[in-house]
């Protein structure tokens, strides 16, 4: 009876979904597969608060049930009626799922799965010691599906998706352009292309923002 009530509630979540999320978390130990499925449905639902809370649950469960979480999300990614949402949003839960679990799913899902996940991949970065680092999952996708242009385009689109800038935007975009230069000669073709795109777009945006600032100050 409890599961039936929670299932119905997930399909029609209240505006304030905190207690529904708590209930789903508490009873997940009795049927984690159903809990994961319901949380995945909430993740791509229209209630933004519930979507965020569901993502937090999935992130927590990812360490305990990595394959089940990935398969649950993956089923929706490949659903022809729902999968488009992974092109329109960006989810951080993929960084919590062990890379090997995601790779196993991608080996089965193929290019369609890679296209859906590319926007959500972690960007390359330079670590504290100054070493350029490409996250393992990002490297796998951009190598295994190197010839898929949609994969690259989605990865480029996700690089700054939902990112907010405050203050001197021009200087921040110039700094981002500087940060990718260590990757301009990277062995992976798609990483080099990403770096060139990031450098060029960063410098272009910086010029545009400065021009706007000059116009506003004159």
Taking the CA atoms of residue 66, residue 100, residue 120 and residue 63 in that order, the dihedral angle to the nearest 10 degrees is: 30
Evaluate whether residue 202 is within a structural domain: yes
Evaluate whether residue 200 is within a structural domain: yes
Phi (first) and psi of residue 130, to 5 degrees: 90, 10
Domain count along the chain: 1
pLDDT per residue as tens, the chain (218 positions): 566 666 656 666 655 667 778 878 888 888 899 889 989 998 998 888 888 999 999 999 999 999 999 999 999 999 999 999 999 889 999 999 999 999 999 999 999 999 999 999 999 999 999 999 999 999 999 999 999 999 999 999 998 887 888 889 999 999 999 999 999 999 999 999 999 999 999 999 999 989 888 888 77
Evaluate whether residue 187 is within a structural domain: yes
The HSE-up count of residue 112 (CA atoms within 13 Å, CB side) is 11
Evaluate whether residue 204 is within a structural domain: yes
Q: How many Cβ atoms from other residues are within 10 Å of residue 59's Cβ?
A: 18
Whole-prediction pTM:
0.87
Range of the domain at 180: 164-218
Q: Contact at 8 Å (CB) between 24 and 62?
A: no
Evaluate whether residue 169 is within a structural domain: yes
Evaluate whether residue 173 is within a structural domain: yes
Evaluate whether residue 119 is within a structural domain: no
Evaluate whether residue 44 is within a structural domain: no
What pLDDT does 12 receive?
66
């Amino acid at each position: 009876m409890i599961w039936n009530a929670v299932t119905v509630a997930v399909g029609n979540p209240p505006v304030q979904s905190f207690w529904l999320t708590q209930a789903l978390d508490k009873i997940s130990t009795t049927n984690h597969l159903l809990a994961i499925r319901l949380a995945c449905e909430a993740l791509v639902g229209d209630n933004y608060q519930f979507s965020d809370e569901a993502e937090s649950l999935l992130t927590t469960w990812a360490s305990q049930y990595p394959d089940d979480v990935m398969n649950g999300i993956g089923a929706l990614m490949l659903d022809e009626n729902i999968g488009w949402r992974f092109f329109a949003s960006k989810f951080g839960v993929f960084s919590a799922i062990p890379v090997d679990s995601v790779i196993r799913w991608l080996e089965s899902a193929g290019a369609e799965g890679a296209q859906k996940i590319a926007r959500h991949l972690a960007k390359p970065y330079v670590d504290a010691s100054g070493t350029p680092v490409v996250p393992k999952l990002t490297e796998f996708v951009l190598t295994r599906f190197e010839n898929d242009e949609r994969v690259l385009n989605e990865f480029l689109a996700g690089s700054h998706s939902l990112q907010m800038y405050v203050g001197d935007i021009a200087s921040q975009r110039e700094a981002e352009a500087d940060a990718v230069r260590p990757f301009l000669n990277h062995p992976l073709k798609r990483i080099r292309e990403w770096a060139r795109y990031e450098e060029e777009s960063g410098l272009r945006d910086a010029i545009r923002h400065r021009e706007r600032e000059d116009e506003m100050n004159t």
